[in-house]
Structure 1
Amino acid sequence: MLRQIKYFQAVVRNNSFSEAAEACNISQSAMSQQIQALERELGFQLLERKKRKFELTPSGEYFYKKSIILTADYERICREAAKIAHGDESVLSIGYLRSYNGQAFFKAIDKFASDYSDIMVKTVPGNHEELFQALRAGDVDLVFNDQRRAFSDEYVNVILDRSNLYVGISMRSPFAELKSVTLSELKNTPCVLVASAEQQMAEEIYYRDVIGFQGDFLFAENTEEAKLSVVGDNGFTLTNGENHNREIEDLICHIPLFRGGNQMFQTYCAFWKKEHCEKEIETFVDILKKQF
């Protein structure tokens, strides 16, 4: 019956017998037969057929919602039982940049979790130095980080992307009318950095001495708090501009950030110790690289 329930869910999810059959790799006639067999087993009608279309019956709608919970619980029970049977649990611990505001990392986590459901993914946020220390101490298996120092031979260093930098600033700011901007032009507007209390000084030194911003700094615990500061016209953030289409981004103007006539960029990398070249690490990094 479980397989028939999954077929039923596929029909509802795709709103089509033919598309559900294709997704499940069976014929459309076989799909119809399986749904009819499920209805006979249950003793009530799930779908009301109307020529080439269908609608959920009230009982079918209730059954569909509850069956989603049922199959999710079943799959989790199977995974937990398999871990007990095998006597171990595979865990991939990934450190990621706390200030990252793009989508690639999240898409990679989703893809990896979907393809390798037997491996538990643990994520640990941090700033550059926190992630570097966590990797050195063995607290994480790999880190997704920005490049701020020369590559070390102790680690596998994979460049994932070189993203152009933008200034995220309130649409109400006069700067929103500019087609590009430099950090010197922004010196009287605070720069909002995402950093823990312990890393605020290190982040300020980096952005002042290396990036070259000579104005004041504000700090936020996470990217959403930083965006709220920007929306409130309290300062600007540095962003790779990936999230232009998200709803909150409609309130934020993204202006290309230039220095010396060229747009500035940020290099994203994956790092892990050479002696820890496990297959799941390399697999995740391959997935992550494809998302950029």
Structure 2
Amino acid sequence: MMLRQIQHFQTVIQENSFTEAAELCHISQSGISRSIQSLEDEIGAKLIIRKNRSFELTEAGEHFYKKSLIITADLEQLCHETVRIARKDAAELRLGVLSTYSGDQFNRAVAAFSEKYPTVDIKVISGNHEDLYEGLVNDRIDISFHDQRRAFHDAYENLVLTETVCYVEIATHSPLAKLDCVSIEELKNIPCILVASKEQQDEEQRFYRDIIGFKGEFLFAESLHEARMMVVTGRGIMPVEGVGGESFFGATIKRLPLLRGEAQITRKYCAFWKKDNSGYYVEEFAGILESMF
């Protein structure tokens, strides 16, 4: 009973209105007033002081409100975990995302999906293009969001989501950081830093050399963090896609638009999943992700 009263109390505070809170909780205004009065009686402290058509929280009420948010969040998490334990066959969705993509659409899609389907266990796997492609082929990933490098395959759903622009990350102390943009031709003597395992280095180098057009030396890092440390220390530049920014990483790294000739280089991003693995949650996530663009 107290949990329902706490939820009524929280809604009144969040809506700053007894009337709107009553509508959201599907009870009468007098009912929500009685609920809060009952909560105060049970606690033994005044939480709200009414003032004509408004109200204000007491010091005790403000403390109780903040602590109650933590308690209800913990309880909600407890319920979700309990359901997952009870259902040993709980639904699972394995998502892949390109580690060098910096837009927030994927993260927002994951948040929206989790809110809509809280009992689905989500696992996110980040990596380079080859990591994600192999994950799809070997059934370690259900649906992946990454760049298109290969021709579309009939065995997969290939949902085109956006055509994103390319940037390079460069140390702010580099002379190149004074530019507003940089062309692929101007980087011919600057090492290109890529994230790739030893097994994937040749494939990544081939793509960025033959398709994107980098002509200089290639350096490799095992993780995105390691690659950015290499950028910060001036060892080279790193190509990325997504969102730009005048000073994307504050005082250490600047992100410059990457041009080929006069135009910024673009890449096509898609959601990929196997047609024979096209379950309800896979298609639902794909729809949510598409709505973010």
1:133-155 deviation line (CA, Å, top 9, x unaligned): 12111112111121111010011
Amino acid at match of 2:68: S
2:77 alignment partner in structure 1: 76
CA distance, structure 1, for counterparts of residue 261 and residue 78 of structure 2: 58
Residue 168 of structure 1 and its aligned partner are, at CA, apart by 2.3
Q: Structure 1 segments of 4 or more deviating over 6 A? A: none
SS in 2 for 1:165: strand
SS in 2 for 1:204: helix
Residue 23 of structure 1 and its aligned partner are, at CA, apart by 8.7
Q: Does 1:21 align with 2:28?
A: no
Q: Which runs of 5 or more residues in structure 2 are unaligned?
A: none
CA distance, structure 2, for counterparts of residue 33 and residue 232 of structure 1: 64
For 1:150-161, what aligned pairs fall within 5 Å after superposition?
A: 150-161=151-162
CA distance, structure 1, for counterparts of residue 23 and residue 284 of structure 2: 25
Residue 131 of structure 1 and its aligned partner are, at CA, apart by 1.4
For 1:167-246, what aligned pairs fall within 5 Å after superposition?
A: 167-242=168-243, 244=245
Contact kept, 8 Å, 1:7 with 1:24, in 2: the verdict is no
Residue 36 of structure 1 and its aligned partner are, at CA, apart by 2.7
1:109 alignment partner in structure 2: 110
Contact kept, 8 Å, 2:105 with 2:292, in 1: the verdict is yes
Amino acid at match of 1:282: E
Q: Which runs of 5 or more residues in structure 1 are unaligned?
A: none
1:74-119 deviation line (CA, Å, top 9, x unaligned): 2233334434555520001112212222211111111110111121
1:30-81 deviation line (CA, Å, top 9, x unaligned): 5544333321222112345567352452x43443344233323322333344
1:54 alignment partner in structure 2: 56
Residues 22 and 170 of structure 1, relative CA distance in 2, 3 Å threshold: farther
Residues 182 and 16 of structure 1, relative CA distance in 2, 3 Å threshold: same
Residue 237 of structure 1 and its aligned partner are, at CA, apart by 2.1
Contact kept, 8 Å, 2:168 with 2:256, in 1: the verdict is yes
Contact kept, 8 Å, 2:22 with 2:32, in 1: the verdict is no
Contact kept, 8 Å, 1:7 with 1:20, in 2: the verdict is no
Contact kept, 8 Å, 2:167 with 2:244, in 1: the verdict is no
Contact kept, 8 Å, 2:15 with 2:21, in 1: the verdict is no
CA distance, structure 1, for counterparts of residue 237 and residue 8 of structure 2: 50
Contact kept, 8 Å, 1:192 with 1:220, in 2: the verdict is yes
SS in 2 for 1:248: coil
Amino acid at match of 2:113: F
Residue 174 of structure 1 and its aligned partner are, at CA, apart by 2.3
Count the aligned residue pairs: 290
1:91 alignment partner in structure 2: 92
Residues 22 and 184 of structure 1, relative CA distance in 2, 3 Å threshold: farther
TM value normalised by structure 1? 0.85
CA distance, structure 2, for counterparts of residue 265 and residue 53 of structure 1: 54
The worse-fitting range, judged by mean Cα deviation, of 184-193 and 197-206 is 197-206
CA distance, structure 1, for counterparts of residue 129 and residue 117 of structure 2: 28
Contact kept, 8 Å, 2:185 with 2:260, in 1: the verdict is no
Identity %: 43
TM value normalised by structure 2? 0.85
Amino acid at match of 1:288: L
